[in-house]
Chain A
């Protein structure tokens, strides 16, 4: 494929896919080891009602109110999960299940009842996103990467997602030791003066930031898959946390790139006419990677 075709059509969606995958996989490692993997699932679902409410309040499809609505919904969900867990004495997994299904369903109902037909906001979009549509029409080839005029029209999702990835990576890097120690042995972490409660909350908030930033571009399916699949596959490759996180980044990148390519060209290679959803294919590839690691990973039991 030539640069004049690849750069405007495929480069940006592919990079966004990689940023989303890595931004979700990084905190996913810790969520998985803390037996909180479902929290990513919960966040990515509850984002929908937040976005719909933001749309109903402002009447426009704009990024900022939607992000705020999504973030607000994520906070409400985290608070509701904690409240149900404590007051109802229900185990965390079940509390998450209750909250995210209810809020997602509420979001779907709101969406159907409100008049959003004129705008690009529907359930399908919420699930699969619109990765393929994030094209960079002003690019003419690789040289556009150095052309300020073309760069000015780069889809805003890319810098936004790259920023979210940077934030997530910075958080994990700075708090690496407290995160590792408190995930392994919370009591011991507290005797060393670590604030394990706020740290755990910060981890969830960082995961929520990644999920909310990713939601608009790629929908919730891929977010859920990336929180769980790359870390789960990586855990089967090694018995060291440092190596596990490195593997999860590799798997997330592979899933994003391979998934995007397979979605675009796989059906053509098989003789079909249309391409399939990139988000769906990325999630599928990540699942296949877990299956492969489960069968062949050196650290599986």
Chain B
């Protein structure tokens, strides 16, 4: 009864929000050595929105993402996907790692990489059938890489490699897409292609979370921001949360003056609009 009232008033409790969230993190602490890389972080991602994880270098952005995915074991904390442990919801999640994290000399072709995304469907010994290939080609088509299907992955440019990674994530057919710096070191055309695909996913009701480092594009690309510097700094819609004060807190004065000025311009420009 009370719960229902609360919902009607638009003031959901924390427990309710966590259950409904495609990715909710509570008290997450991860450490590589003595010093924690991520300390006691709470994060609740809104379904059907695009969230940017923002913070200075070494702030624990990638670590947060990897711990949320279960790639890294946290010291403490819980991660839930739609209210369930992440391990039970693997087929709901697609992941695009940092491009530099894999061996691009690996003997495999573009189409084979995309087919890796269908492991959840194919299982250990399932045959790759024409419909799987057609599905993989369709994913490549969506990122504009269909013409490169039989190329060896090492022959691609950085931007093309990133698009292939995105196609592999699309092949996973997930509801939640987690991307680690998808725009790092890619050309402008690729950046446009990727953001178009991601916005398309969002408009289709999917949830997108990306570690992002280019502060000047946050307002154009994302709905929500999550600011982190080892600890969570702020979380919420871009309009109310992506503010100069929050950025100064997150970056702790490490934001260069020129960068801050340029940013102030985009901030004021957007609010005047």
Contacts and interface: CB of A to CB of B under 8 A. Distances in A.
A235 B107 contact: yes
Given A175-B124, A177-B122, A185-B101, A193 B108 contact: no
Contacts of B101: 185, 187
Nearest to B94: A191
B107 A238 contact: yes
A233 to B, nearest CB: 13
Interface residues of B, number: 27
Given A33-B106, A239-B109, A191 B95 contact: yes
A174 B125 CA distance: 7
B119 A181 contact: yes
Given A177-B124, A240-B112, A187 B95 contact: yes
A190 B71 contact: yes
Contacts of A191: 69-71, 90, 93, 95
Contacts of B93: 191
A178 interface: yes
A187 B97 CA distance: 7
Interface string A171-191: 000110110110111011011
Interface residues of A, number: 24
Interface-centre pick from B69, B108, B120, B168 (highest chain A CB count, 10 A): B108
B106 A192 contact: no
B107 to A, nearest CB: 5
A98 interface: no
Contacts of A175: 124
Nearest to B93: A191
B106 A188 contact: no
Interface-centre pick from A174, A187, A240 (highest chain B CB count, 10 A): A187
B107 A174 contact: no
Contacts of B116: 180-181, 184-185, 188
A193 B154 CA distance: 26
Contacts of B113: 184
A241 interface: yes
B53 to A, nearest CB: 16
B97 A185 contact: yes
B103 interface: yes
A244 interface: yes
Interface in B64-84: 66, 69-71
B65 to A, nearest CB: 10
A181 B87 CA distance: 18
Interface in A233-253: 235, 238-241, 243-244
Nearest to B154: A239
B107 A187 contact: no
A180 B69 CA distance: 20
A241 B116 CA distance: 13
Nearest to B104: A184
Interface string A111-152: 000000000000000000000000000000000000000000
B87 A193 contact: yes
A121 to B, nearest CB: 41
B90 A192 contact: yes
B107 A239 contact: yes
B119 A187 contact: no
B190 to A, nearest CB: 19
A239 B93 CA distance: 29
Contact of A174 (B95, B112, B124, B168): B124
B102 interface: yes
B152 interface: yes
A184 B103 contact: yes
Interface string A26-47: 0000000100000000000000
Given A33-B106, A181-B119, A188-B97, 20 more contacts: A174-B124, A174-B125, A177-B122, A178-B119, A184-B116, A185-B97, A187-B66, A187-B71, A187-B95, A188-B102, A188-B116, A191-B70, A191-B71, A191-B93, A235-B107, A238-B107, A240-B107, A241-B107, A241-B112, A244-B107
What are the 4 A-B residue pairs with the smallest beta carbon separation, nearest first?
A: A239-B152, A191-B95, A185-B102, A193-B90
Interface of A: 33, 174-175, 177-178, 180-181, 183-185, 187-188, 190-193, 235, 238-241, 243-244, 299
7 contacts: A183-B106, A188-B95, A188-B168, A191-B69, A191-B93, A192-B90, A241-B108
